[in-house]
Amino acid sequence: MARLSFDIVGFDLDGTLLDTSGDLAAAVNYAIGTIGRAPFPVDSIRPFVGKGAKVMLQRALDASGGYDEAILDQTLPILLDYYAQNLALHSLPYPGMMAMLDALTARGVKLAICTNKAERFTIPLLHQLGLFDRFASVVAGDTVGIAKPDPAPIHAMIERAGGGRTIFLGDTINDIAGARNAGIPSIAVSFGFLDGPIENLEADAVIHHFDELVPMLEAWPA
């Protein structure tokens, strides 16, 4: 079994490791329902996801009849509280994720997470799905006081995982630009919460299924 040239493989969480759209959609629909707005199908909410809860809610409110800051201030805490209590009812790993994590671990690679999701959601979600102990480090959106695309959280992820050559996977510009700002290569996943053509992310590579990741890393220049 070939050892890879990377010491750490880092991942974004929502839209990269996990399809959390079902639980996020439920939280959005609950929040907007409190002000009389009709619920969205999950597929309609997917394009709203990817840049944090506030932006997700802004997009949903805008699409359901518009909003102002007062409406946003009223509904955002409702969304966050509902989501905190319903983190893992519908959220699932993307196909091939578990086998991919096993394969990387078997090759001596450390796994890490850097997400813009807040710690109050990230840590319980990983525990509820039985995933937390698989990762050498988990850095959330408020762990170091600043989020991607600033490089600080990715640097913290690397340091807390023990340091070494690192590559980062994500599905949004915050992920890919964050990796670039941190001086490490990136891979974009096409199955995530994209809000435009994946080519626009300008990642170093793209995968369409997690089955592609280990062979790609095996062939990555040392």
Phi-psi region of 202 (alpha: psi -120 to 50; beta: other; left: phi over 0): left
SS3 174: helix
Angle value at C-alpha 126, between 123 and 128, nearest 5 degrees:
105
Residue 175 is a catalytic residue: no
7, 12, 133, 175: which is the annotated catalytic residue? 12
Listing DSSP states for 24-92 in one string gives HHHHHHHHHHTTTPPPPPHHHHGGG-SS-HHHHHHHHHHHTT---HHHHHHHHHHHHHHHHHSSSSS-E
**Catalytic positions:** 12
